[in-house]
Amino acid sequence: MAHTCRGTITLATAHIEVGDTCHLVLTSGGRNYHLKATSDGESQRWVSALQQAKANTTHMMHQSDDSGDEAPVPQPDRALTQGALKTLASKLDDLSTCNELIGKHGTALQRSLSELEDLRTATDGTDKLKTVNERATLFRITSNAMINACRDFLDVAETHSRRWQRALQYEREQRHHLEETIEQLAKQHNSLERAWREAPSTHPDGGERRRAGDASDENEDTEFFDAVEDSPAFITVTATDHTQHRRSASNQSIMSGRLPNNEWSHDEKDAGSDNMQLRRVRRSRIPDKPNYSLNLWSIMKNCIGKELSKIPMPVNFNEPLSMLQRLTEDLEYSDLLDRAARCESSLEQMCLVAAFSVSSYSTTIHRTAKPFNPLLGETYELDRLDDFGYRSICEQVSHHPPAAAHHVTSQRGWTLWQEITIDSKFRGKYISVMPLGCIHLQFHSSGNHYVWGKVTSTVHNIIVGKLWIDQSGDIEIVNHRTKDTCHLKFVPYSYFSRDLPRKVTGVVADSEGTAHHILSGTWDEKMESAKIVESSRGCGGSEGKQKTVYQTLQPKLLWKKYPLPENAENMHFFSSLALTLNEPEEGVAPTDSRLRPDQRLMEAGLWDEANAHKQRLEERQRLERRKREAQATQALEEDSLGQDFEGFQPLWFERRTDDSTGESTYVYRGGYWEAKDGQDWSQCPDIF
């Protein structure tokens, strides 16, 4: 079968094992199928038939590979492979013959035993029965030896075939990718041809001809699609240029909205080109990840239902970054906020803020490893004033539950702060990571204050299969000054869904709930926005709800993911920014994540030493926690004296009530960058 479905068994990779009393086991894809025949003879026939079918399957797969339209295999490799296959097929025939003989002799032995049991009255019958039983035992041992030889033979055959299967799969994926690229180019070509045909003519009478043709062309070229009113998923089709001209007061403003996305920064790039030589050159690679194997199930089987932060994990399942650095990595596309700070329209600004909230997940598509849990009081700074115009500081403000506070100030007109608490659960087959808390963003010139949260991240196939990550849930972005809103929906992946994987949809609405922009894209690739030019009530939908018909302008690219650096697959799939986050830097606080020894050793590939340091740091942190608990108990006993016990207090952040949301959150109290300028770290604890 070219394409299998659930429930089928691939014989080419299946393993057949003969058990006792007419019992045989078929192992395929991590599952065991236990089969039982009515007699030993029937069991032997089934085993022979299955093994023969398995040999035929392998032979047919190789014939299919040779006759396919993939790139031809070099002649020496093809001859070598065909010779090996002929040898394997010949040996498999011999083994099948031996198997049939063993089945036949086994039946004869059983018949002889039955006859001997009838002769127990004779004196020499017992001795003869013992002799026959010994021969039967030897026969069984010989049969088992032959079965083991068969298993070894099949393992060799499967190992040889898997290499070609992987090569074939790679070529098929490349062909599929090429077909998708050609299809996209064809669509772009058709769009360009249509735009060229519909562009207004420069002839003096062209304007009159265009206006005269509006009435007849509108019904032919403008398409309308329904979208459920309360659903963020929309199917939109752009209006044609002449329809836009008729419905818009200024055709020039519409055309300016269709300029390429990178035109805005052309002058700025030119203005800053003279300073490029003065910027610091940061590293672009780290040591390759070692290939260490470890049985995950031996660690996780006793941890089902527990919080991920409380599971003792070796560094084999980590990446050489802390959670504070992963939080800082959200600034990978800070240029979106720089552009948003220059927007005069709050609704267009909301679109860019929404794209920024989605872009923070683009680096997670291949990042299934777990970041290091920061120690209590651990910090991380990122000073990129010279190239990106911002400064960032993070601090771990709580350990159970793990919570981090983050503050970013940009010279380009915005400030971002957040407090994120990680709630994670191991469910046996997958791990769910649920970030709790709000992200605040304020623009200096307009005073627009945006607040939003994060969605749930799920890592699948923890025990068996290839690890993959998915993002799912809703994000509600609110501008507390104008009351504009944006509702984003991260569609969870479904095996049976026809939707684009990792799809994100959204709607931007004003304070009265009127939709102005539709957002669409994927969280691992790009986001686009399309301005709504007309909306109307359509026919009734399901459950009596009316649908809203939206007509939009051409979609505008808001954000597109940067390509990964070369050799990223051997560097934990780090992005260009992530490669620089753990780069050693002078003058940072002694609590900075760059100075954490287990993380530094892991990055260097010394995983055994890293595990030893990780255990030492965790034991030290547990000891400090027991001391704080003892102090808290003593404070409760002395409460009659009016003494208050505050417990652990962060060094650079303090809890305040937000004026806009009314929620209590950790905000930056100041002083870090002044301490760095004076290199006064006397207040910092010794945590490493």
pLDDT in tens, 260-298: 333 334 444 444 444 444 567 899 999 998 887 655 555
Of 682 and 251, the one with more pLDDT? 682
Token pair listed for 331: 């600034």
Render pLDDT for 296-338 as a digit per residue (tens, 0 to 9): 555 555 555 555 555 667 788 889 999 999 999 999 999 999 9
Overall average pLDDT of the 644-656 stretch: 82
Nearest by Cα to 647 from 406, 420, 398, 421: 398
DSSP H or E run through 396: strand 390-398
DSSP bridge pairs for 382: 392
CA–CA distance, 551 with 536 (Å, rounded to integer): 9
Of 651 and 225, the one with more pLDDT? 651
Question: Strands, E, within 541-631: which ranges?
Answer: 546-552, 556-560
Model confidence at 456: pLDDT above 90: yes
Q: What is the dihedral of CA 194, 198, 203, 208, to 10 degrees?
A: 160
* Pairing mode of beta strands 414-426, 403-410: antiparallel
Pick from 450-454, 459-463, 466-470: least confident:
459-463
Q: What is the dihedral of CA 82, 86, 87, 90, to 10 degrees?
A: 170
Overall average pLDDT of the 352-367 stretch: 94
Give the contacts of 424 (CB within 8 A, at least 6 positions apart): 307, 308, 309, 431, 432, 433, 434
Model confidence at 207: pLDDT above 90: no
Token pair listed for 65: 């590979």
Secondary structure letter of residue 238 according to DSSP:
B
Q: What percent of the chain has pLDDT over 70?
A: 72
Question: Strands, E, within 461-613: which ranges?
Answer: 468-479, 485-490, 503-509, 515-522, 526-540, 546-552, 556-560
Give 172-181 contacts, CB < 8 A, sequence gap 24+: 172/70, 175/70
Overall average pLDDT of the 613-620 stretch: 89
Render pLDDT for 403-419 as a digit per residue (tens, 0 to 9): 999 999 999 999 999 99
Buried b (16+ CB within 10 A) or exposed e, 634-668: eeeeeeeeeeeeeeeebbbbeeeebeeeeeebbbb
CB 682 within 8 A of CB 667: no
Overall average pLDDT of the 347-354 stretch: 96
CA atoms within 13 A on the CB side of 4: 8
**SS3 assignment, position 426:** strand
CA atoms within 13 A on the CB side of 316: 11
Quote the pTM value: 0.60
For the chain, report the end-to-end CA distance as a whole number of angstroms: 58
CATH topology of domain 296-627: Porin (2.40.160)
pLDDT mean across residues, the chain = 78
Render pLDDT for 70-94 as a digit per residue (tens, 0 to 9): 444 455 556 666 766 776 776 777 6
Token pair listed for 673: 């960058």
CA–CA distance, 597 with 621 (Å, rounded to integer): 15
Instruction: Give how far Cα 270 sits from Cα of 274, 280, 343, 458, Å.
Output: 8, 19, 21, 42
Overall average pLDDT of the 564-572 stretch: 92
Q: What are the extents of the domains in the chain?
A: 15-59, 296-627
Confidence of residue 211 (pLDDT cuts 50, 70, 90): very low
